[in-house]
Amino acid sequence: MLKNGLALAAMTATLAAGAFSIDWIIFDRVDYLADVRVVDPVRYSGELIDEGRYADAEEYAAFWLSLPGVAAEDRQARQVEANRLLAHEKRSELSYQAAEVAKGFLLGESEEDYGRAAGVAADFTLYGDVRDLVREASHWLSNEEVDLLIAALAGAGIGITALSFGPQAGASGTVKAGLSALKAAKRSKRVPVKLFEEAGTVLADAAKSASKAGTKAGTKEASEAAFKTLARLAPLGDLARFTEKEGARAGLEVLARSEHLADITRVIKAAEPFGENAAAALRTLGPDFVRVSEKRGAAEVKAVARFGPDAVTKLERVPAKTFLRDMRHLKAIATESIYRVIRLCLRTVEILFSVITGLISVAGFLSSVISWLRRFGKREEVRSA
């Protein structure tokens, strides 16, 4: 009986060892990928079109098609290209373009760069700032909600205009462009509250400096105060230059990822390597994009970007080369459903081994006890005889 038990234990141990080995070789080393949600670019770009977000759809499709590992002849790539062309066609309609320009200039709101450019053009004149102040004042008179930050930005814009006279005129111009971007960002309701709170504090100081510059115009003290204020707003100047190069949409995405004014420069550095695709990269590669880019570099981020934001996050754990190797390995194993079935079978063998080993151990212990009792009984019989 004991021999049979030992044989069964040996066989079970062999099966379990095999299961453990297979589990590690096939699954354990890629287990960190189990929670990666791979974005389907065809479905995602199609959903953007259905929502009427044609600019987002075209930008995303162009970005995805430009990534390493995407072959233009693949069926998926052809479908993404078809979505890109459809979104481009919608954006090319004159009625759409006219509506976006009007929205940008009159309301300061637009989904297109040319519409935002119209809004920026308005903001560079007193018209844009007065427009926003009048609108918020009408809200106040009608007992409607007043956007205090928009009003503050408009007031600061008028104040910055006062700083536009003198040696600091060049710097004030880029800051004014940054203020316009802040207005657009505020209306989008996607920018962190902390950024606006900090900007509000700095802009309040800017208004004071503008007041001093007005009373002491032309003096050295006034120029120094203006330069000091503009230095604190320097990230807005960086934002304005980046926006001029890559477009207003990219500038808005920079603000959406910036918790503080100082973060603006960090986000820009992470986005610049993506060039014309900067807006799409910032919008779609997840909350860890900037931090991972600083750690791994833009090339590694681009290498895994086609899989989506979860893939970018995993670069905090492994380099892109390892991630791509393991993704190929995981794809070769099976689909997710088969993956779960195989993993369950392996786990069952491992648990079965543990149970049988425990039972055999108990059986061995009981067998030893019985054998001892028999020997003890025989010794007692011999003594009594």
pLDDT tens string 134-151: 666 776 677 776 565 566
What DSSP state is assigned to residue 315?
T
Calculate what percentage of the chain has a pLDDT beyond 90: 28
Confidence of residue 169 (pLDDT cuts 50, 70, 90): very low
How does pLDDT run across 327-347, given as a tens digit for each residue? 887 776 655 555 566 666 666
CB atoms within 10 A of CB 11: 11
The average confidence (pLDDT) of the chain is 74
Per-residue pLDDT at 28 exceeds 70:
no
Q: Where are the domains of the chain?
A: 2-86+333-384, 96-307
CB atoms within 10 A of CB 368: 11
Question: Does 50 score more than 50 pLDDT?
Answer: yes
Mean pLDDT for the stretch of residues 60-87: 93
Structure tokens at 149: 């930050």
* Residue 284 pLDDT > 50: yes
Name the more confident of 272 and 196. 272
Please write the tens of the pLDDT for every residue from 175-229. Answer: 556 666 666 666 666 677 788 778 777 766 666 665 655 555 555 655 565 566 6
Ramachandran category for residue 67: left, alpha or beta (phi over 0 → left; psi -120 to 50 → alpha): beta
Give the chain's end-to-end CA distance (angstroms, integer). 32
Question: Across 45-49, 52-56, 221-225, which has the greatest mean pLDDT?
Answer: 45-49
pTM over 0.75: no
Q: Are 122 and 108 in contact (CB under 8 A)?
A: yes
Residue 267 has pLDDT above 80, yes or no: yes
For position 170, what pLDDT does the model report?
46
Q: Can you tell me the mean pLDDT for 102-123?
A: 69
Query: pLDDT tens for residues 230-261?
Result: 667 778 778 888 988 888 788 888 988 988 88
Helices (H), 51-168: 54-65, 75-91, 94-102, 113-123, 126-141, 148-162
Q: Exposed, middle or buried: residue 87 (CB in 10 Å: 0-12, 13-18, 19+)?
A: buried
